Every structure is written in structure tokens, then in C-alpha cells.
Amino acid sequence: MPVAVIGASMTEFGDRDAWIRELLAEAGVAALDDAGIDPDDVEHLYVSNMASGEFQGQTGIMNALAHDLGVMPAYSERVDQTSSSGGAGIYEAWQSVASGASEMTLLVGGEKMHHKTTAEATDIIASITHPDEYKHGVTLPSFAGLTARHYLERFDAPREALARVAVKNHRNGVDNPHAQFQKEIDVETALGSPIVADPLRLYDFCPITDGSSGLVFTTEERAQELTDDYAVVSGIDGATDTHVVHERDDPTVMGGVVESSRGAYEMAGIEPEDVDVAELHDMFTILEFLQMEGCGFAEQGCAWEQVMEGRTERDGEFPINTSGGLKSKGHPLGASGVAQGYEIYKQLVGEAGPRQVAADTGLACNVGGFGNCVITTVMEAR
Amino acid sequence: MPVAVIGASMTEFGDRDAWIRELLAEAGVAALDDAGIDPDDVEHLYVSNMASGEFQGQTGIMNALAHDLGVMPAYSERVDQTSSSGGAGIYEAWQSVASGASEMTLLVGGEKMHHKTTAEATDIIASITHPDEYKHGVTLPSFAGLTARHYLERFDAPREALARVAVKNHRNGVDNPHAQFQKEIDVETALGSPIVADPLRLYDFCPITDGSSGLVFTTEERAQELTDDYAVVSGIDGATDTHVVHERDDPTVMGGVVESSRGAYEMAGIEPEDVDVAELHDMFTILEFLQMEGCGFAEQGCAWEQVMEGRTERDGEFPINTSGGLKSKGHPLGASGVAQGYEIYKQLVGEAGPRQVAADTGLACNVGGFGNCVITTVMEAR
């Protein structure tokens, strides 16, 4: 059964003086408003969130949000897939409508991270990894550094290519009023910033972010009654890779990206060439290359060439991360996948404002851990 | 589309010398074994768990389990609905098969609670409630005490009726080799135990428990190819009540139980009278009364009479908590709803051993918070 998206929202991303409940409610109210839906019409409510208990000592947030939004007695549930919780929420929302369990599903993803210090937040995020890896100091940023060094050397790619990802995404973020950073940077700034995990530097990493984002799903039949502008989730799939990263055959191939995008294309009946715009999970700049390749937008080891040629700029042939990406928009874990969906939806219904590109088909790739879990969603304009 | 259950497992419940990953893997392997399914056949893996991050500092457990079981690249996700996470997992597993997203879904629910002290565990559980309630000392056990006092006075029920719930469930637990307590108690012991939240005493409460449980779901078509003995999920629904408990109209009516059971009956096309056996969420003895009434097994204020008459004993007309219930079996949060499903499934396929009762239709009611979220599942033998 085709499942439609009829509304979307996102809060300001950044260092927010608000509790997780408030952030979720802000996006929830705005998404229902965007869809023109009454709270009473909501049958299922999903909350994508990784760690509200660890960050703020508050659990049961799906129930709290159902109460705050007045959608009771709607079914409510929290969906966690670490940093791909948002994409997992899209998959659950899709399943809820496609199975007939719900005719109107609200998804709200959110995370409040600044309640903890950066060191504490790093510890919470590192709890995704295998305890033996973390014990030896191997965190997600250090995996990114190792992978970047390997990629650059093996494929003879210039260090500048990574910086260009950051520059592009910062430029896009300037036109996103919700983005954490609305500030252009240049290649020299990126290349001159402090080293975090060699060869990656400060501007190769997304920030710690508070924020929330919402999407409203219904049947295509109901969508047609309600609005002229909607999108459909035409393909979606998720996949898991090894928990222990060093057990993977090739550090430049993200198996979860390959598998989930293959499944999503098959379901949608399209090829990578049919995608007009994509939101990729650029938690680290190197990941934008790995996802371009895993999703079939570039051959292995070649994604960097497209970035150097400007093909993935907003005015290029195949724009990537028009929202600013995680890099400049920010990465509030549970919200990020939902916010990718927000950007694709807004592009498809022509409401992306100054970021608008020409697009009938969009793709979002949301990555949990270091590719441990991945969800790929294909949406099409109707 | 009818969704079938073709296998089930549960680990020993109790104080387990194992990490959450090990507990989940133990139940996962056993469930696949019970269903006669190869790990490669699993397409979706759901992990019901409330707080592995808070209890053990380990997140990403769905990915870790996918790795440990060798089901990669199967989709994996953690489902949280606090103490009803297990029931929510059943709902997600159902949706995954009913929507066509997965033909073979493994659900594993688990929690490792003894890694923390009882005081720390109480804090983690209390994080479900509204911060203002908790600040004033109102925890889930204190809600239970207030509700029990109100119920006994308003409906002129004897204090002994609550003790009889504990006595019955302990007696059933004696025949459950997986139960945390395999020990009979008598009414005098229950009534003489220390007060916890007046009028409730030690034996009115479930313990803190480590454990895990698994279920395997597939299409009815595939189930027929694979086995002669299976059950179907013929009805399932979930509902949410207020986050702030004092805002509810009647403290003896659990709105989520009423709504979710109504939805499950409607979907199954049955009435409460058609149910032969039930697992109810007896986290506190008083909850067994409230769920009997909310599910339509007794009029409001009358459930206690059935308990006093012995009707809900294993050899009574309508056995409740043949497994021993949360009271004697234990309550490892994320596992409990799955373990309710285990008991109903085993009863329906005639594999409940010394606990076997005559049953073609069974019901499980899983409660999160103090009725904040509730899932009711109806299963039928095929």
C-alpha cells in the first residue's frame, strides 16, 4: 500500500534552552499544523530518540508527548536505532500505515544533548560501540579518521575533497533558518582547523545539537482527500552491519548502506540515476563519500571527484545535503533522520525556499553507529 | 494479513551473572531453535528493551544482537515503551509481517537490572513518571498503594483478595522452571510481610529481574509450510493514557487497558468471554484486578470476587497468569511482554507442561508506567 507524507516540521537546531519534552512537542505541534491535521486524528505516534534517559534522566517520552500533544489514546512508542533512530522511525511509521494498523501516524524525532558536557555526551554516544573497542580508545570519530586516511591513500584522493564537503554543506546551511551553523566557511578554514582524528579536523565533524523534527504519514487515498501537495515513500529498507567495525572486509564499503539502498531502489522500482536530490548522513565528511558510493551514485573510490567537480552543489547536477547536512544543520541523534525526511519532503513539494532544487525523486540515507544500522528512504513527489 | 507465531523462548529469570548482550543472545538462539529457523532467514529483528544504556552503559544492542545471532544484514531496531516494551515489540513484529516488510521476524525482549543497586534501579524506573510527581516522592509503587486503598474501600473488597493474587501466582510459578521464585507462599505470609506502600506489602510487588524472552513471527502461509503447531496474532492494539497519573478521571479505570483491549477484541472479532487464558501485568497485585476489569473479564469493582472464588486459578474456569505472572516469574522490563507472549503461545500449542490448561484463545495485557502505555494481544491456536 502506498504511504504518503503530508506534513513536516523541524525546530531550530542548536544549543536549545528547553527540555526534551518541549523540543518534541514543538516539532509535533508544527508537523500537525503543516499537515492541517487535528491531534484527535492521530492513531499512532512514534518518537525517534536514542538516549533521553541518559541525557536528561527522562524516559517514557512517547507517553509524555502523546499527553502534551493531546493525541491520547493514540498508540505511542519510542524507536531507537542510535543515530539512525529517525530513519527507523520513518520505517515504523511506514509499516504502521502499510499494515493497516494506523491511518494517521505522527513521527517526531528529537534529542536534547547539551544537558550534558561534551565529554559526557561523547561517552553516551560511544556506548553504541563494542566495549572492547571503546576501552582501547576507538570511538566513532577515530573510526572516521582511520577510514579517511585509508580512503585518501588508496584512491589517491586529495585532502581538499573532504574539506569541500564541509564547505558545500556550510554554504547550504546558510539558507536553512533551522540550521545550527548559518555560516559559510572556505577550504582554507576547514584545512586549517584543529586536528581531531588525523587526517580529519574540526570542520570534518558535525556538532553536538539539540533539536527535533516531525513528519505526518497517511494512506495515499487519505492524502488525496486532504491535499494536492504530498509525497509518497516509494521505497524504504534498513540493514545491519557488524557491531565490531574491524570485522568488516573493506573499511571503505558500508554494507548497511549498500544493502538498504538496494532494497529501497528495488521497492521503488528505480535506479540510483533516477534520484534527483539526496540527504546523506555526513556526521563526518568522509561518510558523504562512502554513502555516495554505497548508494550507487559513484563507483567505489570515485565520489570525491564529483565533489571536486561541484556536481553535488545545490546548483550542480546532483545536489547532496541541500539542508546543510548534519555538518552545518547539526545532529540531534534521534531527530537527524526525521530532519532528512523533512528536507526531502520540502524539496519534493516545492517548499524548500531558497534551497529549492528541481526534484521529483529524493533519497535519505540515515546511518547509526559507524554504519552499524542504516535506513535508506526513497520519496517521490505526487 | 494473518501473522503467525511459530516459536518462543525464555531464559531463566532472576539475578543473572550475564551482560544484556548475553541474555538477549540466549533467548534469540533458543527462539530460532524452537521455530526451527536458520538465522539467515530472519529479515527483521526487534529488541524490546527499556534502558540498557542506563543499566549497563551499552546502547546499540539491536545491532550487537544481530551480530551475535548472525542474522545480518537483517534490519534491527530497539523498541521502547518502558515496562510494556515487550508488548510494543509484538506489535512492531506484527506490523513488520502484516505490511510485507518482513517475512520472518525475530523479537527478543530483555533487561539486565541487577547491574545496578535496588535504589539505582528504582531511580531508573521512576524516570518514566513526570518529574514533578517523582520530586514529591510519588513513584510507581506509591501509585499502586494509593490505588489499592481506594479500590478496597470503594468496592468493599477484603485485603485478603490482593494476597490471594500473590498466592495464586506464586503457586503457578512453582511449575515454571524459568521463574525467579519457584516457591509457594500462603495468605498469612503475604499479609504478614513488610509494608512497602500501605496497604501493599512486600508480596504485592514483583521483584527486580534479569532475563530475556523471544518470539518468532511469520506469515500464516509460511507457518503452514513450516509446522503443524502454530498460533496467530488475531488481535492487537495499543493505547496511551495521561503521563500525569493524577489527571485521570477514575483511579480504578486504566484507560489504556480499556482502549487497547477493545481494539484487540474488535480486530479478532471476539468478546472477552471468548478468551480462555490470560497473562496480565501484575507488577503490583492490584493491577491484576484493574486489568481484569479493563479487559472486560469482570465488572468494575468485582474482579476481586473471582479471585476469592478461585475462578482465576489454574484449575479454575478462567486461569490468569499461569506462568506465575510478573509476581513470581519476575519482571525484566523489556522481556516481560515477550514472556507473556511466550506463555500464551505455549498454552495454545499445548507445550506448557505442568502449567497446561485447555485454551484455544489467549490474551496478554502488557502495561507501561502506571498504565501510561498499554498493549493487548489476542492469540489463537491454529
pLDDT digits 0-9 by tens, A176-187: 999 999 999 999
**Is the predicted pLDDT of residue B1 greater than 80, yes or no?**
no
SS3 B221: helix
Residues B58, A127: contact at Cβ < 8 Å?
yes
Q: Which residues pair with B195 in a beta bridge?
A: B201
Q: Do A73 and B128 lie within an 8 Å CB cutoff?
A: no
* pLDDT tens column, B195-242: 999 999 999 999 999 999 999 999 999 999 999 999 999 999 999 999
Question: How does pLDDT run across A38-73, given as a tens digit for each residue?
Answer: 999 999 999 999 999 999 999 999 999 999 999 999
At residue A47, φ and ψ (nearest 5 deg) are -120, 115
Identify the pLDDT of residue A130.
86
Cis peptide before A158, with omega less than 30 degrees from 0?
Answer: no
CA atoms B129, B132, B134, B139: torsion sign:
negative
Q: CB distance from B267 to chain A under 8 Å?
A: no
Where does chain B hold its CATH 3.40.47.10 domain(s)? Answer: 3-117+209-231, 129-207+237-329+353-381
- What single string gives the DSSP state of each residue in A277-340? EEE---SBHHHHHHHHHHTTSS-TT-HHHHHHTTTTSTTSSS-B-TT-HHHHH---HHHHHHHH
Q: Which class is domain A3-117+209-231?
A: alpha beta
- For residue B241, give the 3-state DSSP assignment: coil
- Angle of helix B159-174 relative to helix B285-294, nearest 10 degrees, comes to 100
Residue B268 phi, psi (nearest 5): -80, -15
CA A219, A220, A223, A225 torsion-angle sign: negative
Q: What's the pTM?
A: 0.98
Q: What is the pLDDT of residues B231-287, one digit of tens each?
A: 999 999 999 999 998 899 999 999 999 999 999 999 999 999 999 999 999 999 999
**Facing A80 at nearest CB: one of B67, B78, B131:** B78
The predicted structure's pLDDT at residue A9: 98
For residue A25, give Cα distances in angstroms to A347, B120, B256. Answer: 24, 29, 21
Supply the pLDDT for residue A158: 98
- Quick check: B253 contacting A, CB < 8 Å? no
The CA distance from A291 to A304, in Å, is 11
The identity of residue B134, as a single letter, is Y
| Interface residue A152 vs chain B (CB under 8 A) | no
CA-based angle B89:B95:B98, to the nearest 5?
A: 140
pLDDT at residue number A333: 98
Whether residue B74 and residue A240 make contact (CB cut-off 8 A), yes or no, is yes
Cβ-Cβ contacts under 8 Å, A237 against chain B: 75
The predicted structure's pLDDT at residue A157: 98
Residue with cell 534501579: B121
Which regions in chain A score pLDDT beneath 50?
none
pLDDT surpasses 90 at B133: no
CB distance from A135 to chain B under 8 Å? no
What sign for the dihedral angle of Cα B265, B266, B271, B272? positive
Instruction: Considering only the beta carbons, identify the residue of B50, B67, B255 that sits closest to A243.
Output: B67
B79/A contact by beta carbon, under 8 A: yes
The residue whose grid cell reads 511449575 is: B175
- Using CB atoms, which residue from B50, B57, B256 is nearest to A59? B50
Please tell me the predicted confidence (pLDDT) of residue B367: 98
Contact by Cβ (8 Å): B211, B23:
yes
CA separation for the pair A77, A82 (Å, rounded):
15
Q: Which of B211, B215, B214, B213 is nearest to B20 (CA)?
A: B211
Give the confidence band of B107 by pLDDT, cuts at 50, 70, 90. very high
**B22 touching chain A per CB within 8 A:** no
Distance CA A142, CA A337 (A): 23
Cβ–Cβ contact B59 with A under 8 A: yes
Nearest residue on chain B to A87, alpha-carbon basis: B77
Q: How do strand B75-80 and strand A75-80 relate by DSSP bridges?
A: antiparallel
- Smallest Cα distance from B252 to chain A, Å: 17
Read off φ and ψ for residue A218, nearest 5 degrees: -155, 180
Cross-chain residue pair A63–B243, CB shorter than 8 Å:
yes
Interface probe, candidates A22, A82, A94, A95, chain B, greatest B C-beta count within 10 A: A95
How many other C-beta atoms are found inside a 10 Å radius of the C-beta of residue B90? 31
For chain A, what's the residue count?
382
Nearest to A73 among B59, B63, B255 (CB): B255
Contact with chain B for residue A130, Cβ under 8 A: yes
Contact check, Cβ <8 Å, A237/B124? no
- Which candidate from A58, A99, A124 shows the least CB-CB separation from B99? A99
A and B: number of Cβ contacts within 8 A: 194
> What pLDDT, on a 0 to 100 scale, did the predictor assign at position A69?
98
> Do the Cβ atoms of B256 and A68 come within 8 Å?
no
Instruction: Read off the C-alpha cell for B107.
Output: 523479537
Q: Identify the residue whose cell numbers are 528505480.
A: A270
Fold of A124-208+235-381: Peroxisomal Thiolase; Chain A, domain 1 (3.40.47)
User: Do residues A281 and A266 lie in contact, with contact meaning Cβ atoms separated by under 8 Å?
Assistant: no
Say which DSSP state B353 is in: G
Q: Residue A177 is placed in which grid cell?
A: 533558518
- Residues B129-207+237-329+353-381: name the CATH superfamily: Thiolase/Chalcone synthase (3.40.47.10)
- Determine the residue among A97, A120, A240, A375 to mutate to test chain B binding: the one whose Cβ has the most chain B Cβ atoms within 10 Å: A240
**What is the rounded distance in angstroms from the CA atom of residue B207 to the CA atom of residue B187?**
18
> Which cell goes with A109?
524525532
Residues 100-129 of chain B with CB under 8 A from chain A are 100-101, 124, 127-129
The number of CA neighbours under 13 Å toward the Cβ of A341 is: 44
At A129 the three-state DSSP class reads: coil
- DSSP for residue B194: P
User: A95 and B91 in contact by Cβ < 8 A?
Assistant: no
Nearest chain B CA: its distance from A373 CA (Å)? 7
Residues of chain A with CATH 3.40.47.10: 3-117+209-231, 124-208+235-381
Tens of pLDDT, residue by residue over B59-86, are: 999 999 999 999 999 999 999 999 999 9
Residue A133 is predicted with a pLDDT of 83
Q: How confident is the model over B332-345, as pLDDT tens digits?
A: 999 999 999 999 99
Measured CA distances, A194 to A141, A162, A289, A338, B185 (Å)? 14, 15, 22, 31, 66
Q: Is B251 helix (H, G, I), strand (E, B) or coil?
A: coil
**How far apart, in whole angstroms, are the C-alpha atoms of residue A232 and residue A379?**
5
My answer on whether omega of the bond before B73 falls inside 30° of 0, hence cis, is yes
For residues A297 and A5, give the distance between their C-alpha atoms in angstroms, rounded to a whole number. Answer: 25
Residue A91 and residue B75: Cβ atoms within 8 Å? yes
Q: Which residues of B touch A238 (CB under 8 A)?
A: 75-77
In angstroms, the CA A177 to CA A161 distance is 26
Q: Rounded to an integer, what distance in angstroms lies between the CA atom of residue A121 and that of residue A114?
A: 8
Query: ω into residue B199 within 30 of 0, thus cis?
Result: yes
* pLDDT reported for residue B131: 82
The percentage of residues in chain A with a pLDDT greater than 70, rounded to a whole number, is: 100
